[in-house]
Amino acid sequence: MQKVFEWQTSGPGLYEVTREVDAWVTGDGLLTLFVQHTSCSLMIQENADPEVRTDLAAFFHRLVPPTTDPSMSYLTHTYEGPDDMPAHIKAALLPTSLQIPVAGGRMALGTWQGIYLFEHRDAPHVRRVIGHLA
């Protein structure tokens, strides 16, 4: 059972998609989510305090600043904008796919776990994520 999700983003940060995915899953099995892009990521993170998401985005922005930052002057792939190569690096550091057991029609997430699309680009994008349930 496969489905393509399309999610609109409007700049860097974490977008929660838990509810939409949960509404789709059914039965018992294993859910795989796979993002078809190399400049955004999927992530399971705390869904309680929104400060956690802000802090996560801040950490990764400091670990991998834009190529206009002097510390990143060694990068060569800059013609798609100062946020492009850092987006590829963040996409390398963070998951391209997630796997979540499903039981009784619900994802077996922990109490505080939510599913996020983590956008790394500045411009708005429509992101395609394939859901595979088996």
Write out the residues near a copy of itself by the rule CB under 8 A.
Answer: 2, 29-30, 32, 34-38, 43-46, 49, 51-52, 54-56, 58-60, 62-64, 74-77, 85, 88-89, 91-101, 103, 108-113, 128, 130, 132, 134
CA dihedral (133, 42, 93, 61) in degrees, to 10, reads 180
List Cα–Cα distances, 17 to 8, 74, 117, in angstroms.
11, 35, 7
Nearer to a copy of itself (CB atom), residue 88 or residue 122: 88
Query: What minimum distance in Å lies between the beta carbon of 103 and a copy of itself?
Result: 7
Distance in Å, CB of 13 to a copy of itself, minimum: 13
What single-letter amino acid sits at 61? H
**CA-based max dimension of the chain:** 52
Closest CB to a copy of itself among residues 17, 60: 60
Handedness of CA 17, 3, 88, 81 (dihedral sign): negative
Minimum gap (Å) between residue 120 Cβ and a copy of itself = 13
